[in-house]
Structure 1
Amino acid sequence: MRWGARGGVGGWVGSGRDSAAVSPAAPVGKSVVPAPRVETIASSRCLVARVGGDMDYVTAPVFRPRLRELLSRGERFVVLDLSRVQFCDSVGLDMLLDVWRRADGSGTVLVLACVPQALRQIFQVTGADELLRVYDTVTAAEAAMGV
């Protein structure tokens, strides 16, 4: 996966829509963008949700309700595994902060795991790392929550 800088203030990074990730099955000149997805993974200790695809203004109508739905399940601990996120712009960051605020307000502990390095850098540049707790692995996130 190649991470490159996007233009504008903040220099959002990713391999999203500006890159031409072409598969053999795709018509020439057409980029293949992974479909947005949120898959829950069975865990007896907490709810683990694996997030995949681009998190941006295009996928926000899909991601935002799915992320909010995770909180409606009533789990005390939620881990978002971001290992399959390939691109994140300011709207994607806003979605993560929104779900964190909602979780915090409802007494749910929400943490992030397996965050790509480029996305960690976005968190640092924007100050989001002051709110969002990030762990290297899902196992480390679960251990930190004491579950």
Structure 2
Amino acid sequence: MDRATVGSANRGRLRVEVHNEGGSAVVTPVGELDHHTADLLREPLEDCLAQGLARLVVDCSRLEFCDSTGLNVLLGARLKAEAAGGGVHLAGMQPVVARVFEITGAEAVFTVHPSLEAALAD
């Protein structure tokens, strides 16, 4: 399945949905992003970049948990997207996920939006 257009992957606690919206790839992780599920997010992000979609919008509104491994996946995608002339935009973070970004200082290196709609309009 071509994840950069429409698709999903699932491994128990995390499902990842991907679709195109204008010039952005919208990647929606649903569930828990941790050491055991990180590749389910890493692979679609890398697939999008490989297909030339350098503006990645990660809709975090249904992400229930994110540990340091998940954070590192997003940081790695940010570096690759910026090298390709794009970036990673985070949208709709739940407080428990936003806290991880806050305490690590990672919120300073991402463009963070209150909602998916705001991220797409930017």
Which has the larger share of strand?
Answer: 2
- TM-score, normalization by structure 1: 0.68
* Greater alpha carbon shift after TM alignment, 75-84 vs 90-99: 75-84
Residue equivalent to 1:71: 49
Identity of aligned residues (%): 32
Task: Tell me how far 1:96 sits from its aligned partner.
Answer: 1.0
What per-residue deviation string (whole Å, max 9, x for no partner) do you get for residues 11-36 of structure 1? xxxxxxxxxxxxxxxxxxxxxx9542
What is the alpha-carbon distance in structure 2 between the residues aligned to residue 131 and residue 124 of structure 1?
11
Residue equivalent to 2:6: none
- AA aligned to 1:78 is L
What is the alpha-carbon distance in structure 1 between the residues aligned to residue 41 and residue 87 of structure 2?
19
What is the alpha-carbon distance in structure 1 between the residues aligned to residue 19 and residue 43 of structure 2?
18
Mark the runs of 5 or more structure 2 residues left unpaired by the alignment.
1-10
Look up the SS of the partner of 2:36 in the other structure.
coil
Note the 1:37-52 alignment, pairs <5 A. Answer: 37-52=15-30
Residue equivalent to 1:91: 69
Mark the runs of 5 or more structure 1 residues left unpaired by the alignment.
1-32
Look up the SS of the partner of 2:56 in the other structure.
strand
4+ residue segments displaced more than 6 Å = none
Q: Does 1:131 align with 2:77?
A: no
Task: Tell me how far 1:44 sits from its aligned partner.
Answer: 2.5
- AA aligned to 2:119 is A
CA contact (8 A) 1:48 1:80 kept: yes
Larger C-alpha radius of gyration, 1 or 2? 1
- AA aligned to 2:84 is S
Return the match for 2:35 from 53, 57, 60: 57
What is the alpha-carbon distance in structure 1 between the residues aligned to residue 39 and residue 111 of structure 2?
25
